[in-house]
Structure 1
Amino acid sequence: MSELRVLDNLASVDAAQWDALIDDGNPFVSYAFLRGMEEHGCLRRDYGWQAHHLVIVDGDRLIAAAPAYLKSNSHGEFVFDFAWANAFERAGGDYYPKLLCAAPYSPVPGPRLLARSEETKKLLVAALVAETERLGLSSVHVNFLLETDLPAFDERWLQRFDWQFHWHNRGYRHFEAFLTGLTGKKRKNIRQERRQASESGLQIAMEAGSTIGEGDWRELHALYETTFDMKGNHAAMTLPFFRHLGRTLGDRVQVATARMEGRIVAMALFMVGNSTLYGRYWGSLVEVQGLHFELCYYLGIEFCIANRLQTFEPGAQGEHKMARGFLPTRTHSRHYLMNESFDTAVRNALVHEARSREAYYDELMEHSPYAATPAQP
């Protein structure tokens, strides 16, 4: 007899059973990633995160799971609902806490309903709504869904989408083969940026997480913190968590490094799925023309070509990525607002938002970097 349980951490879950539910090897819902954040101080109530995972078990066997969190704010989600919260609270309601199903701090499309069958996915969706109602919450949100998860949500859920910029491998044999598909201007600019980085005197390389030492992890984390401090944001990922990633995920963590006399002075951190490379964090102590693009984009593209990965997702936002070969790709979220009047108001607003975002896509594609824009996969 299967049973639904709610967990305030993943300590009691078998790691192998959890990971067996993830078909695409997405590292951001892996046991090591999610449990590591719980263990190493990345998810705290004063940051607005409280683990509230839903799992379905049959005896000792894990059948399905949804990584979920009680949120007392909307930070670290990247599907922005601040306007919804303000409107609901101006009307006298309490928008927070809410229930969120997502990978914390990670604007990365991936599986959110970890289950083998459509029927079981629908059970998880129903459980998310039931738990929201049981706790008297305003809403439940599921962010950055895969398209394969969308059929589990009925029409009562609000549909929302946005765009990210992704690179797709068209069977390129090497980086120059990729460049030949771009317009002449874009091809020239990329070669110039790569030349600027290569002539900087820095030692630039892609390094596997399993090869990075303790001292290097300290330098990498300091660079990550510096970037967040410069932007006035809070760096939630801790140094112990960075070390945990290298220890548990090994070569599924890749770091593009720029070294000066052996010391890492700039870096871009990546994670690897079965067919996708994910760009995450960047930091630098030096000002070098072209270095950001070399570490964050071009080494990643080379890595995908060499390892036959199909997609490179460098992170949220950034129209400048289009000039480097990345094209707008649709991302999906679903939202269930318990108050029906509020639901109606937001639903109407989303119609206008969708039209605006479709027009934005058309505008972007007028500036495609490709001589002949390839069809979306």
Structure 2
Amino acid sequence: MAAPGTGRPVNPFLTHRFLLALEQSGSVGRGTGWQSLPLTVHDGETLIAAAPMYAKSHSQGEYVFDHGWAEAFERAGGRYYPKLQIAVPFTPVPGPRLLTLPGYEATGRAALIEGATRLARQNGLSSLHVTFCTDDETQTDLRLMPRTGQQFHWHNAGYGSYDDFLATLASRKRKTLRKERAVAQGFGGTIRSLTGDDIRPEHWDAFWHFYQDTGSRKWGQPYLTREFFDQIHQTMRNDMLLVLAERDGRAIAGALNFIGSEALYGRYWGCIEDHPCLHFELCYHQAIDWAIAHDLKRVEAGAQGEHKLARGYLPVATHSLHWIADPGFAKAVERYLVEERAAVDEEIEVLTAYGPFRRGALQQEREQDG
């Protein structure tokens, strides 16, 4: 769905174009452990609710980690996989997961969860997980167990330039970031930000090598296929920002972002040459530059990474919902989640206090975060 008055979707990962590209490219589907089972609810002939749901045979590519639950359940003689997952594959970006027509929020969400849990019970599946949903969705009485995580977002307090942002930081932090950017930009080449028709096939060829290198080191093998990038180029190139570092006539590092109507979403990074601080420049500083120039409210830098804190990205809570069929195991998980939520809340408070902002500027950042 596009935001009113703009041509961009609020959240590009929930568009039909993005989800279809995952399927058509073979990134999800047969042999991947992600079997698409889209869930819909109708009132007569009117579609009132839908959810991107998948049958999962593993817990890879989710970023809300339940590997420990799976191991414990199977040690006790249970079968954890397959399970049901309402999510955007490989995409730890918060957003609605239980999609409804306006006015049908409570009815539509309840029907989606009822349908998903009924499907799980009928097929003897262990569980249902709704990951990176909104806080509002967790407040709905769906009888699911809420879970809290965290990631790091940069918030635009109406800055006119990167220097305006730096002015809100403590002096030592400000000097450190200026030095870091100077070191990164002195790698011996140029940095370009490309979107739309400026992104050419040769840029995707280069980025594929970057992505393969990062994917093989982080996950064992990349989640996305080469064809996926061709698909999204055809349908989403105006909603993507590719930041490339080039030296001696070739791209040597790159960061891929998706553009929403309110936020820039950092997704993938990779390189074929190592240069000091270049990762921070392409992924975080260049994203801030672009968000300021295009009046976006925030930059969401993806999962994990406390190193983002020093660069002005503050911790925010993320949310998920969980249903487990076995009553005894569900009670054990619920006790764990109560303790985990308290620990995450405390960690967010502590990390925020250690952020780079001056005291008065930190209060402004918190107000921007709502």
Q: Do they superpose with TM above 0.5? A: yes
Partner of 1:258: 245
Q: Secondary structure at the match of 1:315?
A: strand
Alpha-carbon contact 1:209-1:255 (below 8 Å) kept:
no
**Structure 2 match to 1:170:** 157
Name 1:113's counterpart in structure 2.
98
- Cα distance in structure 2, aligned partners of 1:187 and 1:159: 38
Aligned counterpart in structure 1 of residue 194 of structure 2, from 191, 201, 207: 207
Residue 92 of structure 2 aligns to which amino acid in structure 1?
Answer: P
Match of 1:318 among 272, 295, 305: 305
Q: Letter of the aligned partner of 2:20 in structure 1?
A: R
Contact 1:125 1:152 in 2 (8 A): no
Counterpart of 2:77, as a letter, is G
Q: Is the 8 A contact 1:210 1:246 kept in 2?
A: no
**Mapping 1:1-377, distance limit 5 Å:** 25-57=10-42, 62-116=47-101, 117-118=104-105, 119-154=107-142, 156-231=143-218, 233-372=220-359, 373=362, 374-375=365-366, 376-377=369-370
Q: Deviations over 1:31-82 (max 9, x none)?
A: 1111111111101343211111101246775432100000011010010011
Give the Cα–Cα distance (whole angstroms) in 2 for the partners of residues 320 and 291 of structure 1.
Answer: 14
Which residue identity is paired with 2:37? H
Counterparts of 1:362 and 1:273 in 2: how far apart (Å)? 28
What per-residue deviation string (whole Å, max 9, x for no partner) do you get for residues 87-137 of structure 1? 111111111100000000111101101112212222212222222122221
CA contact (8 A) 2:18 2:232 kept: yes
CA contact (8 A) 2:316 2:348 kept: no
How many residues in Structure 1 have an aligned counterpart in Structure 2? 356
RMSD: 1.8
Percent of pairs with identical residues: 40
Q: Which runs of 5+ in 1 are unaligned?
A: 1-15, 18-22
CA contact (8 A) 1:210 1:247 kept: no
The 1:353–1:197 alpha-carbon spacing in structure 2 relative to 1, beyond 3 Å, is same
- Looking at structure 2, the residues matched to 360 and 148 of structure 1 have their Cα atoms a distance apart, in angstroms, of 22
Pairwise CA distance, 1:276: 0.9
CA distance in 2, matches of 1:293, 1:229: 20
User: Quick one: structure 1 residues 209 and 235, their matched pair in 2 at CA, closer, same or farther if it must change by over 3 Å?
Assistant: farther
Q: Which residue in the other structure is 1:8 paired with? A: none
2:128 and 2:13 map into 1 onto residues whose CA distance is: 20
SS at match of 2:303: coil
Change in Cα spacing, 1:143 to 1:231, as seen in structure 2 (3 Å) is: closer
Question: How far did 1:262 drift?
Answer: 3.1
Counterpart of 2:5 in structure 1 is: none
